[in-house]
Structure 1
Amino acid sequence: MGKKYTSLNTKLISFIKKQHLYFVGTAQAEGRVNISPKGQDTLHILNDNQLIWLNLTGSGNESAAHIVADNRMTIMLCSFDKNPLILRMYGTARVYHERDTEFHELMSHFKELPGARQIFKLHIDLVQTSCGFGVPFMDYQSERETLNIWAEAKGEKGIRQYWEDKNQQTIDGFDTHIFE
């Protein structure tokens, strides 16, 4: 059943690298809790206690605002194949925007994707596994290209306009600091 660790080990890192989907959870003291699904090879492990993930442009920008106010973050992955497992990584995060030097340094870990908006670095202080016996079987088919096609069609200027129109505040009205 479930186990707790203070860092990732070789077996867990191997599990993470095989997954096509992960979920990010953030919240401020007030307002809604955000849980966001992520894919497209946007997660990279730096070491046993740090990982980064590339945030692509989307309809909301909750994680960016939440991390500024309260830097707690949880990332969850689960297996949908014959070997059940749920893996949660808890810790504190920082957000890096295109205007930050660190963004460009960290971007080297990812392939270039249109609409790249932020990079989050998670400092892991607890890793928890659980059985995953209740998670259904599902087969991976492929990545959706819809977001990339949409972002490419908008172009850099169109993406920035989208950020201005849709990504400056959360659904609770908190500032995301996207243009600060």
Structure 2
Amino acid sequence: MKLHERIDERLREFLLTQPVFFVGTAPASADGHVNVSPKGMAGTFAVLGGHRVAYLDFTGSGAETIAHLRDNGRIVLMFCAFAGPPNIVRLHGHGRVVLPSDPDFGVLLGHFGDELPRGVRAIIDVQVERVSDSCGFAVPLLEYAGDRDLLQRWTERKNDADLDRYRERKNTHSIDGLPALTPSRRNV
């Protein structure tokens, strides 16, 4: 394993070319569940500086990451090379949930291009405190066939009120009962 002072240009290029990454969070309580979520879709991850990254958070069946970040802020993002030279990069830090109602949402959103997929409920903004990479010799070689379009097709079939109702049913609390999205703070 090698520690890096920051996300340099070589690491930035590696991070931005990976089609999938994994997000790990946990509640402060020792009784709570650790969560690991895969993230993907081209253009939904951005390197904002040597110690800062962000990604688009979409409407989904849970809101563990949001709840855990509100509880304690701890987060790790892991990127694995499934093609080319083996490599695993981990970004440890503290994240915050930026909702569409937050003043800096629009500025952050500008880092993700003009063609944003429907269903974005938040942006996860991460202050990176530790950057490391390791060999990844045991990570399998996989062929990338492309992004799935199922999430986009699902959200396109819903109007804003439908998405609001879904988020209210599925995204207000974590599986451990921690608050996540509340009706007054949901994306619209």
Name the amino acid aligned to 1:85. N
Determine the C-alpha separation between the residues in 1 that align with 2:96 and 2:108.
12
% same residue: 36
1:125 aligns with 129
CA RMSD of aligned residues (A): 1.0
The alpha carbon displacement at 1:178 in A equals 3.8
Name the amino acid aligned to 2:46. H
Determine the C-alpha separation between the residues in 1 that align with 2:45 and 2:28.
26
2:20 aligns with 21
Does structure 2 conserve the Cα–Cα contact (< 8 Å) formed by 1:23 and 1:37?
A: yes
Does structure 2 conserve the Cα–Cα contact (< 8 Å) formed by 1:24 and 1:74?
A: yes
Name the amino acid aligned to 1:84. P
1:65 aligns with 67
1:32 aligns with 2:36: no
Determine the C-alpha separation between the residues in 2 that align with 1:58 and 1:68.
18
Determine the C-alpha separation between the residues in 1 that align with 2:182 and 2:78.
25
2:162 aligns with 158
The alpha carbon displacement at 1:28 in A equals 1.0
Deviations 1:50-80 (A, max 9, x none): 0111001110001111011111110000001
Determine the C-alpha separation between the residues in 1 that align with 2:125 and 2:84.
31
Determine the C-alpha separation between the residues in 2 that align with 1:178 and 1:154.
20
Determine the C-alpha separation between the residues in 1 that align with 2:117 and 2:51.
25
2:180 aligns with 176
Determine the C-alpha separation between the residues in 2 that align with 1:91 and 1:6.
13
Does structure 1 conserve the Cα–Cα contact (< 8 Å) formed by 2:76 and 2:91?
A: yes
1:140 aligns with 2:144: yes
Aligned residues, how many? 179
Name the amino acid aligned to 1:174. L
- SS of residue paired to 1:154: coil
Q: Gaps spanning 5+ residues in structure 1: where? A: none
